[in-house]
Each structure stands twice: as structure tokens, then as C-alpha cells.
Amino acid sequence: MAAQTWDPTTYIQNATTVTFGTTANKVRVNGATAGNAPTIEFTGTDTNVGGGIITKGNGALSLMPGGVLAALINFVAGATRWVTISGSNAGNPVISTSAGSLELRSADNTGVVIGSGFSNTNPVQVTIPETSHATSKRTVLQFGSGWRFGQDMIGNGVKDFYLYCVSLGDYVLRIATNGVATFFKAVRGNTSTLTGSGVVTPDFSVANYFQATLTGNITLDTPTNYTIGQGGSITFRQDGSGNRVLSGASSIWKFPGGTLPVLSTGANAVDKLVYECVSGGEIHATLIKDFR
């Protein structure tokens, strides 16, 4: 007898139900009424029936809704790790791996966007769950091989925040649950250089510490971007000629006794104005003179 051939597409296009195979577990393609999507259903007499879509050789599996490529599942020879996607009827859906970490990669010079599309004023876009350990409440976010942000520094269940440097093998910062910050390394402020004559207007957003070499008389103006609680100092250094004076200051500056301080006037003399921004729109300051 000559070999028989059968083109299932002839029947799939028009059939209400097409069944492949006569065993208990089979693939059934269901038709649908106008406006409804047809489905591929794995069914049979077993209580739980799984299913698989297998491509031939090294072929990738493409998902193309509307004929447009939306997702591509690549062939990996000898792969022993896979991804499982699980729904939920109460909690959150889960994407998990059979082993190893889950990597999300984007095209070069782009990024992975997580949690976009929120409209409220205080969205929680990324949540890193705590460990399920009996006592520890640790949760850690690591950046490459350099830094870690984490919760529960000691691992005793206290939900503090910490910054850890992998290359140093040491902690850099801890913020306790009451908001108090402890630094385990030096904290160094930038020093900004001010003009050395005329009206001097510090920008308190660029630094806490300032310096100026005086080439003429100066007037200390109201700083820009000052904030209550900020403190620091301004170092005044006379040039080689000396005799430069502080001829005035705006009313925001408050000095001991209400008296404008007098700078040391010797050539290359160094004075330091220590300040603190306080409530009521005031900056309290005192001059420490003649550093040698």
C-alpha cells in the first residue's frame, strides 16, 4: 500500500476540535467563536497533565502575537537550569530558577526598568524580601563585586541599614532604626574657594567648608541655598600685602555681641569664621584668629 499523508492544517483551520494521537495524554486544538481566541490545550485522562513544546535541533521558540516577535526562547545545548513561572491566587506571581541566579539583561547602553507605570506619590517599586532565617532579617542588594546595601547588619533581627565595601571587607555606614547614622570610616567634606575681594556670596549647596585668599576688602553677603542644621567654616587668608578687612555682612550673619569681627591684617595671616545655620533665618558665626 502506498504511504498515506495528512496535512493537519487543513483540518485545524476549520475544525472545532482536533485531537492528535490516541494515547491518554494528547494535544487538542480548540476552535473559537468570532472575537474569542483559540486555545491549545493539553488534556487527557490523567489528573494532572503537563505539556511541552519542543523545537527541532537548535531551533529557538518564538512567540509572535499578531505575527510580530515579542519573545524568543533560545536553545542552549546541555542546559540543566531553567526558569519556572508560577501564578498565585493570593500573593504575588513568582519567577524562579531551578539553580543559580536569575539574570536580567538589556541591550548595550540601556538599562533594565523595574516597577515603572506607577501613578501614586510614594510607590514601592522594588522590594527585596527578608531571609526566612529564624532570627536574621537580612536582605542584601549587591552592586557588582564592589558594594552592598543591606538590612540587619549583625544578623540578629534588628532592621537597621548598612553599607558594606566588599574590597575593604568592612562596613562603612550603619543607620540604626531610630535614624542615627554611624560612620566607620572618615567623612571628608569638599572645600570650595570663594572670591577674595568685593561681595562674597557663598553657595552652601556646594560645600560646608570654604576658603578665600583676600586681595581686597570684602563684604559677606547672604549665602545661597543655606539650610537649617548646616555648619562649617570659612578660612580667610591675607595675601602678601595684608591689611584687607571685613567691611560688612548681611543681617543674616549674627556674631557674638552683635559686633562685626575684625580680621587679622598681617601679610599671609589666617583667620577662620566658624558658622552654623539655625532657625529664624540666622547664621551664627564666630571668628577664630591668627592661625600660625
Q: What structural domains does the chain harbor?
A: 139-183 (no CATH), 191-291 (2.60.120)
Q: Is the pLDDT of residue 97 over 90?
A: yes
Note whether 260 and 249 are within 8 A (CB): yes
Residue 118, C-alpha cell as written in the block: 506607577
Instruction: For cell 532570627, name the residue.
Output: 135
Note whether 285 and 275 are within 8 A (CB): yes
Residue 31, C-alpha cell as written in the block: 476552535
Three-state SS at 241? coil
**Beta-carbon count within 10 A of 208 CB:** 14
**Beta-carbon count within 10 A of 9 CB:** 8
The total number of residues written for the chain in this structure? 292
DSSP secondary structure letter of residue 203: B
pLDDT digits (tens, 9 = 90+) for 9-19: 544 444 455 55
The residue-averaged pLDDT of 217-230 equals 96
According to DSSP, the β-strands at 26-30 and 17-20 are: antiparallel
pLDDT digits (tens, 9 = 90+) for 132-157: 999 999 999 999 999 999 999 999 99
Q: Is the pLDDT of residue 212 over 70?
A: yes
Note whether 282 and 252 are within 8 A (CB): yes
Half-sphere exposure of 222 (CA within 13 A, CB side): 9
CA distance 43 to 172: 58
The reported pLDDT for the residue numbered 284 is 98
The reported pLDDT for the residue numbered 201 is 97
- Confidence (pTM): 0.69
CA distance 215 to 99: 69
The reported pLDDT for the residue numbered 18 is 56
The reported pLDDT for the residue numbered 145 is 92
pLDDT digits (tens, 9 = 90+) for 63-95: 988 889 999 999 898 899 999 999 999 888 999
Sign of the CA dihedral running 24, 27, 31, 36 = positive
Instruction: For cell 512567540, name the residue.
Output: 63
Q: Is the pLDDT of residue 229 over 70?
A: yes
Q: Is the pLDDT of residue 243 over 90?
A: yes
The reported pLDDT for the residue numbered 34 is 78
Q: 123: pLDDT confidence band, cut at 50, 70 and 90?
A: confident
Q: Which residues pair with 212 in a beta bridge?
A: 236
Instruction: For cell 555648619, name the residue.
Output: 231
According to DSSP, the β-strands at 246-249 and 218-220 are: parallel
DSSP secondary structure letter of residue 14: T
According to DSSP, the β-strands at 71-73 and 218-220 are: unpaired
Longest CA–CA separation in the chain, Å:
119
Residue among 257, 248, 246 nearest 284 (CA): 257
